[in-house]
Amino acid sequence: MTLSSAEPTVQAQASTQGGERLQLLRVLGPGHVWALGVGIVLVGEYMGWNFAVGKGGMIAGLVACWLAGLLYTCVAMIDSEVTSTVAAAGGQYAQAKHIVGPLMAFNVGLFLVMAYTMLEAANAITIGFLLDTVAGLQGHSGLHQPPFIVLTVVFLAWLNYRGVLATLTFNLVITAIAFLAIILLFVSVQLGASHVPLDFSAISTDPLPYGWLGILAALHFGLWYYLGIEGTCQAAEEVRSPARSLPYGTMAGIMTLLIAATLTWYVCSGLIPWEYLGQAGTPLFDAARVTGSTPLMVLLFIGTIFSTLASANGCINDASRAWFSMGRDRYLPSWFGAVHPKYRTPYRSIVFLVPIALIFALGAPLDQVVTFSILSGLLGYTFMTFNMVMFRRKWPLGTIKRGYVHPFHPFPAILLLLICAATYFAVFLGYGSQLIAMMCFYILASLWFHFWRYRFVRRGDQFTMPWPRPQGC
Amino acid sequence: MAYQPPKQGFVGQIVDVAVLLVMTVGALYIPLYLGLAGAAKTPRPIENPTWEALGQNAAEQAQWQALGIADPAAASDIVTARFDYSFSWAALLVMAVLVIGYFVLVVRLSDKEYRDVIAERFDRK
């Protein structure tokens, strides 16, 4: 695998089995990386983040937004350094393979697949819910949601099946429109477009309905504002210049999301009673409803649909590439490691993950699906902390070429670990059973991999970077 | 000599995929389906609720109405629902042991595998 290649044509190389091994196309620029990251995450402003308000109140929701922003700043700093150096499909999965070991890589691959597949399911649920709401507003209550959920997942899977460039260009456009919708809502409300005034009196009358514990509890869903931004590095093998484009796209994405998250909290908290906001399915659309402005309602309806489509689209892209990478390395059956002969996409992985997304989209409540996604993301962020420390210890600065070196090491890793620990406790408050179920799943999967699946893995092939031997090994 | 993994047949691959699917659905979906997992948020209804009794001022009442909820009784369950954050320290300890134990397990077993990888990659030259 030639990581420095910028050749935008299909490459083929002899595989170890003597056949032709097709590779993914290097066609993506920084704009696509931004769109992939923000496209997946922007939906966090359109749904899910507001459960943080439900867990702790308005102030807790804002504090959670900023604390989570701090967490993701650490994630972006760490991820930019490691990803710009280990630029291979699978992102953190490839990092774990080279830095910690195969079992960790298998787990990280599963974190990515589960986080993105659950997020995809949450997006499909939101689309069904939104269409039901709008149908109700038009006097057609009781819309049957499942067909729309299935249609969403299957259509986007088909789009991904056909090709990554078309898919992410599509994402770039609809993400930009969804982001613009939030800005327009904020500006319109500030200019007095709302028939109902902004009201923040709950901040003084009921500032912390759960006390200080509520702030900690709210951190659980605070992650939803940004969850998935690290997905930028999933397409590392398809980026023309990973060392430059990946850090740039990720950092630009974090800045975009910090702005959008703050604006979203401000508008929604001012227009919607916090008790309603804490359990709403589509908070930004609800905020537009409260303004009484039909154009804003239409705009936020489009924004919600576009953000969920962009997110689900990016999730399918990322989850399938993580699954594909694991298949290619035989961590999973090698059948999944195939690239489509015409479209150059990991088509078998794309198709395989469709029914898993549908099981949860059709059969689980939104907050539970969101929690599963958050938990998988959280486990991945925890991994990043010791992965970063091990990376610097095994290959100190100067021993290998890094695309980007993040400052203040190990402070970001320590801070990230502390916020992760607080978030585990936050999930434990109210959703402890999901946390235990998730941990049992990963422990079982780890034992299965180590004692069974690993026998099919070629040992030496797990280290493909042109680096010197790691120190201490 | 480099490790040569056994070739896995088609049926073996299908079985492996089925095992993963069963683990995913069994550990994550079945508890939800059986109602064993879920958020602990419960309403605390009050009799004959009014907007004032529910602590909603005039602006908030207008917001509720814009959201299509004009009757305080309809809003009562939403307004009064709260999470129960009481917990036992034993349960918290179990969670901590699970999370920390999981990472210790994975890192230790990974390290064992990683040494094989490094040995094969760098020692065979």
Q: Cβ–Cβ of A473/B25 closer than 8 Å? A: no
On whether both B7 and B35 belong to a single domain, the answer is yes
- In this structure, are residues A371 and A220 in contact, taking their beta carbons and an 8 Å threshold? yes
On whether both B46 and B79 belong to a single domain, the answer is yes
On whether both B94 and B125 belong to a single domain, the answer is yes
Least Cα separation, residue B89 to chain A (angstroms): 12
- In this structure, are residues A371 and B38 in contact, taking their beta carbons and an 8 Å threshold? no
DSSP H or E run through B42: strand B41-42
Q: Cβ–Cβ of A290/B116 closer than 8 Å? A: no
DSSP H or E run through A21: strand A20-22
Q: Kindly indicate the confidence band of residue A82, based on its pLDDT and cuts at 50, 70 and 90.
A: confident
Q: Kindly indicate the confidence band of residue B124, based on its pLDDT and cuts at 50, 70 and 90.
A: low
Return the closest-CA partner of residue A313 out of A23, A38, A8: A38
On whether both B52 and B76 belong to a single domain, the answer is yes
On whether both B35 and B47 belong to a single domain, the answer is no
On whether both B3 and B20 belong to a single domain, the answer is yes
For A433, the closest of B23, B36, B114 (CB atoms) is: B36
CB distance from B89 to chain A under 8 Å? no
Q: How far is the C-alpha of A462 from the C-alpha of B115, rounded, in Å? A: 11
Instruction: Give me the residue label for tokens 């804003």.
Output: A296
On whether both B95 and B118 belong to a single domain, the answer is yes
Pairing of strands A12-14, A20-22: antiparallel
Interacting residues of A299 by C-beta distance below 8 A, sequence separation 6+: A181, A184, A185, A288
When pLDDT is averaged across residues B23-31 and rounded to a whole number, the result is: 87
- In this structure, are residues B70 and B28 in contact, taking their beta carbons and an 8 Å threshold? no
Q: Cβ–Cβ of B114/A101 closer than 8 Å? A: yes
In terms of C-beta density within 10 A (0-12 exposed, 13-18 middle, 19 or more buried), how is residue A4 classed? exposed
The chain A residue lying nearest B106, using CA atoms, is A104
Q: How far is the C-alpha of A333 from the C-alpha of A78, rounded, in Å? A: 31
The token pair that represents A423 in the structure block: 């978030």
Q: pLDDT tens for residues A174-210? A: 888 999 999 999 999 999 999 998 999 888 888 899 9
**Other beta carbons less than 10 A from residue A413's beta carbon:** 22
The three-point CA angle A361-A178-A145 to 5° equals 25
Q: At what angle do helices A102-137 and A347-363 cross, to 10 degrees?
A: 50
Q: How far is the C-alpha of B15 from the C-alpha of A350, rounded, in Å? A: 19
The chain A residue lying nearest B111, using CA atoms, is A101
- What is the per-residue pLDDT for A22? 56
Per cent of chain A over pLDDT 90 is 60
Q: For the stretch A442-452, what's the b/e string if a residue is b when 16 or more beta carbons lie within 10 angstroms of its beta carbon?
A: bbebbebbbee
Distances (CA, A) of A173 to A35, A260, A306: 8, 17, 9
- What is the per-residue pLDDT for A73? 85
Q: How far is the C-alpha of A87 from the C-alpha of A232, rounded, in Å? A: 11
Q: pLDDT tens for residues A251-297? A: 788 888 888 898 999 999 999 999 999 999 999 999 999 999 999 99
Q: Cβ–Cβ of B6/A456 closer than 8 Å? A: yes
**Number of domains forming the structure of chain B:** 3
- In this structure, are residues A374 and A427 in contact, taking their beta carbons and an 8 Å threshold? yes
Q: For the stretch B1-18, what's the b/e string if a residue is b when 16 or more beta carbons lie within 10 angstroms of its beta carbon?
A: eeeeeeebeeeebeebee
pLDDT of residue A7 exceeding 60: no
For B102, the closest of A386, A442, A463 (CB atoms) is: A442
CB distance from A192 to chain B under 8 Å? no
pLDDT of residue A123 exceeding 70: yes
ipTM over 0.95: no
Top pLDDT among A318 and B13 is at B13
pLDDT of residue A231 exceeding 80: no
Written as one string, the DSSP assignment of A216-236 is: HHHHHHHGGGTTTGGGGGGGG
pLDDT of residue B1 exceeding 80: no
On whether both B2 and B30 belong to a single domain, the answer is yes
Q: What are phi and psi of A330, to 5 degrees?
A: 70, 15
- What is the per-residue pLDDT for A12? 33
Q: Cβ–Cβ of B85/A439 closer than 8 Å? A: no
For B6, the closest of A430, A455, A469 (CB atoms) is: A455
Q: Cβ–Cβ of B59/A199 closer than 8 Å? A: yes
pLDDT of residue A4 exceeding 70: no
- Chain B residues in contact with A446 by the CB 8 A cut-off are 102, 105-106, 109
Cis peptide before B5 (omega within 30 of 0): no
pLDDT of residue A406 exceeding 90: no
CB distance from B120 to chain A under 8 Å? yes
DSSP H or E run through A12: strand A12-14
Q: pLDDT tens for residues B37-66? A: 666 678 888 888 999 999 999 999 999 999
CB distance from A196 to chain B under 8 Å? yes
Return the closest-CA partner of residue A161 out of A313, A300, A367: A313
Domains of chain A with bracketed CATH? 24-457 (1.20.1740.10)
**Other beta carbons less than 10 A from residue B120's beta carbon:** 18
Q: How far is the C-alpha of A409 from the C-alpha of A386, rounded, in Å? A: 12
Q: Cβ–Cβ of B79/A275 closer than 8 Å? A: yes
Ranges A55-64, A415-424, A457-466, most confident: A415-424
Residue-range definition of the domain harbouring residue B67: 41-83
**Other beta carbons less than 10 A from residue A16's beta carbon:** 8
Q: Scan residues 105-124 of A and list those with Cβ closer than 8 Å to B.
A: 105, 107, 114
